[in-house]
Structure 1
Amino acid sequence: MAKKNIDEMSFLDHLEDLRWHLIRATLGVLIAAVLAFVFKRFIFDVIIFGPTNMSFPTYEGLCKMSQLIGINDTTFCADKFPFIIQNRNVAGQFSAHIWTSIYAGFIVGFPYVLYQLWSFISPGLKNNERKNSRGFIVIASLLFFTGVLFGYYIVTPLSINFLANYTISEQIQNEFDVSSVIAIVRSSAIASGLVFELPIVIYFLTKIGIVTPQFLKKYRKFALVIVLILSAIITPPDIASQVIVAIPILLLYQISIYISAIVVRNQKRKENKVKHS
């Protein structure tokens, strides 16, 4: 059966169309999840447990930086972390394998999820709007993967290093459950990836008239407070880690202001062309 024109589709037709896009997006994530499930050694030994080893690139870089400024006694230069990873639940490892594969599938399949979302939205846009938003999937995917890498290589190792070396008594030994370690890696990577989508969100909010550059500038101070709170949530409670995470988010907010200004400027140009035509 030929697909109906967007103007001929009823509300139920739109729901049916959305359902199929969601099904295809879910299948894409599941296929990527199956691949992640198969390559469990690489996913766990190299990626998930990578930040738990002192040979991780972030620790080596921070160790060298510390030594350059004359700080030799730092946890970044230790031989190994003072903890072990263990599993206390009968189905713990299998459950961790399943859910980690699903989250990995979501990260890998994120561009395809965006493609399905865009395929549903784009028929309702005008030709010039569709043309101006042509790079949406590529830009949004690059921002997401940049955020994931930032969360993995910056937020995760800072969190693990701080929490692993934090102690209230030398009588206590750290024996972290595998689900706890996975949760830190997962939440840091995915949360950072979604936060890095801020420019895309601001772009569309500006397009539909919800926010303006003036609004973003006026409430910049409030945004700074929100960013610091957000940084405190996704990082360990030390000032250095929070500042490191807050800086790129503030830069993204500033970039979002420029993007919003460009959108408003283009909208005004189109309005002036219509008036003079």
Structure 2
Amino acid sequence: MSDLPQTQTDLENQTYLSHLVELRRRLVRAGAALIVAFVGLVYWAPDIFRLLARPLMQNLPEGGKLIVTDVTGSFFVPMKVTMLVAFVIALPCVMYELWAFVAPGLYRNERKLIGPLIGSSYVLFLCGMAFAYFVVFPTIFRLMAHYNAPLGAEMTTDINNYLSFVMTMFIAFGVTFEVPVVVVMLTRTGIVSIAKLRQIRPYVIVGAFVIAAAITPPDVFSQLILAVPLIVLYEAGLIAARLIAGARSGDTRAHFDVD
């Protein structure tokens, strides 16, 4: 009898160690994918940075330019941008390794749900970044250049500050475009009902403008660029949740009819 608890403890320790070994293996693979993507892109780091800076450079007034105030900025900033692009490219592999690690502990219906959600989350995040790059950046930079003109100020931006601003906008709009996934998850798991999400719609609208005011530059137009998509995506999430709920109820009725 005294050997049984020891045996159970040994089995638990072995299981814990096997999980750690598996996690390390998955992390190494994900890290290797990131490194391979970075190495493949590093030669074009200056070109990648110029591509990132294009929305600003196209909207600067005559004489406006990017500057470097840090001794190592001209080297490390393009490297950071390249690492960001490499991470976006390698993200499907990183997400797959994460999925492969947690999948054995999920039920079959959870596996069916998580797979499409991960894929849609990646696509929506890319859509948010693209919206920021092609719509938000040109609009904001054009407005900022317009505000500077009456002041007679020369518009010059340090590349480190520009990268910080761009990263903030990419993350903000990438996360904003995840709203439909969040809504579907909340309703699918039963945390919040669709009726409740409809009921709190006025608070969501107010919250969207509060978030936009906290993230975007202090002008109404820039805030609308973030707040309006956030509200639209919330409504899209409600529509998707209703469609999924209708499909599930249809499947359930078909199942009972067959039985």
Aligned-pair Cα RMSD in Å: 3.1
Give the greater-gyration-radius structure (CA).
2
Aligned with 2:191 (options 189, 210, 216)? 210
Q: For residue 222 of structure 1, what is the aligned residue in structure 2?
A: 203
Q: In structure 2, what residue type is equivalent to 1:50?
A: R
TM-score if structure 2 supplies the norm length?
Answer: 0.79
Aligned to 1:105: 86
* Contact 1:81 1:164 (C-alpha < 8 Å) held by counterparts: no
Match of 1:52 among 32, 37, 56: 56
Matched, 1:131 2:131: no
- Structure 1 length normalisation: TM-score? 0.75
Q: 1:50 and 1:40 mapped to 2: Cα distance?
A: 14
Cα distance between partner residues in 1 of 2:230 and 2:215: 12
**Contact 2:57 2:65 survives alignment (8 Å):** no
2:214 pairs, out of 221, 233, 237, with: 233
Tell me how far apart the structure 1 counterparts of residues 57 and 149 of structure 2 sit (CA, whole Å).
23
* 1:140 partner letter: S
- Unaligned stretches of 5+ residues in structure 2: 1-13
Which one of the candidate residues 11, 32, 37 is aligned to 1:32? Answer: 37
Q: Which residue of the other structure, out of 79, 92, 100, is the alignment partner of 2:73?
A: 92
Match of 1:176, SS? strand
Is 2:151 the partner of 1:170? Answer: yes
Cα offsets for 1:46-76 (capped at 9, x unmatched): x21211233xxxx7xxxxxxxxxxxxxxxxx
Higher helix share: 2
Helix, strand or coil: the match of 1:210?
A: coil
State how far apart, in whole Å, the 1-side matches of 2:19 and 2:248 are.
Answer: 28
Q: Whole-Å Cα distance in 2 between the matches of residues 211 and 217 of structure 1?
A: 10
| 3-state SS of paired residue (2:157) | strand
Indicate whether 1:10 and 2:21 are aligned. Answer: no
Check whether the contact 2:209–2:227 (CA below 8 A) recurs between aligned residues.
yes
CA distance in 2, matches of 1:165, 1:12: 60
Q: Measured at CA, do residues 160 and 81 of structure 1 come closer, stay the same or move farther in structure 2, by a change above 3 Å?
A: farther
Show structure 1 runs of 5+ residues with no match. Answer: 1-8, 60-78
Change (3 A) 1:125 1:152: same
Shift of 1:199: 1.9
When structure 1 is superposed on structure 2, of 193-202 and 257-266 the one drifting more is 257-266
Aligned residue for 1:259? 240
